[in-house]
Structures are given as structure tokens and as C-alpha cells.
């Protein structure tokens, strides 16, 4: 995996940073050969700052680092997509993305992207319950798996009842409750959405290849 820095007169290649969980575009920066090597070596995104005229590791002052998940040069090796997990707001103004304006509502994410955001918050409540001890999520974790599993069961039944009754207005709310409590259950069990999606991907690939039929489930 190489980048062709010689294509650029200043040796700087544009790098788009994308949230690996939500898919949201976080920022645009530039990397030279040294920044590329440092990013590889440390697993944190490092740019070449044109204003500072030096290497700049995102988060070196704020602590809001961008932890590298994967690096993807484009087809001509003169642009870069970095998939990363942000340790906090990416923009110095406190917004998630540098492409958001503080006076405007946050840029909407795709439905799956929002689930990833919600999962991240649930995981934080699990790992750091002291940050918001009155939170409903933290209280569920304190009650343990039996209570969490009970809530998933209750919400599943209520979702089914509204679906069978044709109550679409209530169905969306019950489905939302079910998805939320399922995220809590997965977190308590040490699993993630990615673990579930990996199973779906595997099933999809075998069905697409013709080696497994949907009715075999």
C-alpha cells in the first residue's frame, strides 16, 4: 500500500477522515511521506499542517485523537481515505465533524450510522457509569443481564403486538425501544453490532454463492 507523493508539487496528498463506525466524514487534511509513516507507526492520524509548517498529530493538544482502523489509497495513489475512531469531537469548535456549522443542526447520519453512534454511547455508559449514574442505561447495567434480557423480551412482544394489530404509529416506537435494549444486551454480553453484522455478511455471502438457501436457517 503506497502513496505517490511525487505526483504533488508540494508532496502533500489530501486525506479524508471517515468515522469507521458511523461512516460520517469528519475532516480533510494533508499527509506527506513523514506523516504517512508516523500514522502507520503509531496508529493515530498525523497530518502535515500547512499553517504550522510541521507534522501535526490530530489531538496532540485536545486529546481528541483519531485512532486508525484502516487506510485506503485511491485508484491513482494520490488521495487517501482514512477510517478512524475519534476519541472526541473532531473539530476544534467542538462539533463531531469539521463540515458542521455550530449554528446548524448536526449533519444527519445514515440509519446504520446512528445505531453505531448509539452503541458507542451505550458502551461508554457501561465502561464509565460514574459519568452519569442517573442514566437509565447505567441503571440497566447495574441490574444485570436478567433484567436487561427481560426488557428485550418485553419490547419484542410489544413490537409484535403492534405489528399484528397494524398499529404503525406505535410500531416505530416499540421497534426503537427494542433496538435500544438489544444494544444494551449485546454490550452486557461483550458483543457488538459488528459481531452481529459479521454473521449476516457470512450468511449473505453463502446465499449469494448458491451454497446455502435462506430456508435452511
Q: What is the pLDDT of residues 132-190, one digit of tens each?
A: 989 999 999 999 999 999 999 999 999 999 999 999 999 999 999 999 999 999 999 99
Instruction: Specify the pLDDT at position 51.
Output: 93
Instruction: Find the mean pLDDT for residues 37-51.
Output: 96
Q: What is the Cα Rg of the chain in Å? A: 22
51 contacts: CB under 8 Å, gap ≥ 6: none
- Dist. CA 91–CA 216, nearest whole Å: 48
Answer whether residue 50 shows pLDDT above 70.
yes
Q: How confident is residue 213, by pLDDT bands cut at 50, 70 and 90? A: low
Question: Is 217's pLDDT higher than 70?
Answer: no
pLDDT computed for residue 109 by the predictor: 64
The answer to whether domain 5-86 and domain 111-209 are alike in fold is no
3: CB partners within 8 A, 6+ apart: 13, 31, 33, 36, 73, 77, 78, 80
Query: Using CA atoms, how far apart are residues 217 and 206, in angstroms rounded to an integer?
Result: 12
pLDDT in tens, 112-125: 778 988 998 999 99
Distance CA 113, CA 117 (A): 6
List pLDDT tens digits, range 186-201: 999 999 998 998 999 8
Q: Is the pLDDT of residue 212 over 70?
A: no
Range of weakest confidence among 60-64, 74-78, 111-115: 111-115
Q: Which CATH number is 5-86's, of 3.40.50.720, 3.90.1570.10, 3.40.1110.10, 3.10.20.810?
A: 3.10.20.810
Q: How many residues comprise the chain? A: 217
Contact between 117 and 106 (Cβ < 8 Å): no
Q: Look at residue 129 and tell me whether its pLDDT is greater than 90.
A: yes
Q: Where are the domains of the chain?
A: 5-86, 111-209
pLDDT of residue 214: 52
- Kind and range of the H or E element at 183? helix 168-188
* 104 pLDDT above the threshold of 80: no
Rounded average pLDDT over 76-86: 95
Please tell me the CATH code under which domain 111-209 is placed.
1.10.287.1080
Question: How high is the mean pLDDT of the chain?
Answer: 91
Give CA angle at 144 (143, 145), nearest 5°. Answer: 140
Cα angle 170-171-173, degrees, rounded to a multiple of 5: 70
Answer yes or no: is pLDDT of 29 > 90: yes
Contact 190, 180 (CB under 8 A): no
Give, for 204, the enclosing helix (H) or strand (E): helix 193-208
Amino acid at each position: 500500500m503506497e502513496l505517490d507523493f511525487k505526483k504533488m508539487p508540494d508532496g502533500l496528498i489530501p486525506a479524508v477522515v471517515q468515522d469507521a463506525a458511523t461512516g460520517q466524514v469528519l475532516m480533510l487534511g494533508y499527509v506527506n511521506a513523514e506523516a504517512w509513516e508516523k500514522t502507520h507507526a503509531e496508529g493515530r492520524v498525523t497530518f502535515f499542517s500547512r499553517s504550522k509548517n510541521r507534522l501535526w498529530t490530530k489531538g496532540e493538544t485536545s486529546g481528541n485523537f483519531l485512532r486508525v482502523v484502516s487506510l485506503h489509497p485511491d485508484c491513482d495513489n494520490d488521495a487517501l481515505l482514512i477510517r478512524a475512531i475519534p476519541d472526541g469531537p473532531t473539530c476544534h469548535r467542538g462539533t463531531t465533524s469539521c463540515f458542521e456549522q455550530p449554528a446548524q443542526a448536526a449533519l444527519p447520519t445514515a440509519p446504520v450510522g446512528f445505531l453505531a453512534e448509539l452503541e458507542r454511547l451505550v458502551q461508554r455508559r457501561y465502561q464509565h457509569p460514574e459519568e452519569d449514574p442517573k442514566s437509565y442505561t447505567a441503571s440497566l447495567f447495574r441490574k444485570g443481564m436478567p433484567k436487561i434480557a427481560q426488557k428485550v423480551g418485553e419490547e419484542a412482544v410489544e413490537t409484535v403486538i403492534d405489528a399484528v394489530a397494524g398499529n404503525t404509529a406505535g410500531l416505530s416506537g416499540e421497534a426503537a425501544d427494542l433496538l435500544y435494549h438489544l444494544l444494551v444486551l449485546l454490550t452486557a454480553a461483550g458483543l457488538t453490532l459488528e459481531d452481529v453484522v459479521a454473521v449476516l455478511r457470512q450468511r449473505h455471502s453463502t446465499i449469494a454463492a448458491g451454497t446455502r438457501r435462506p430456508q435452511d436457517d
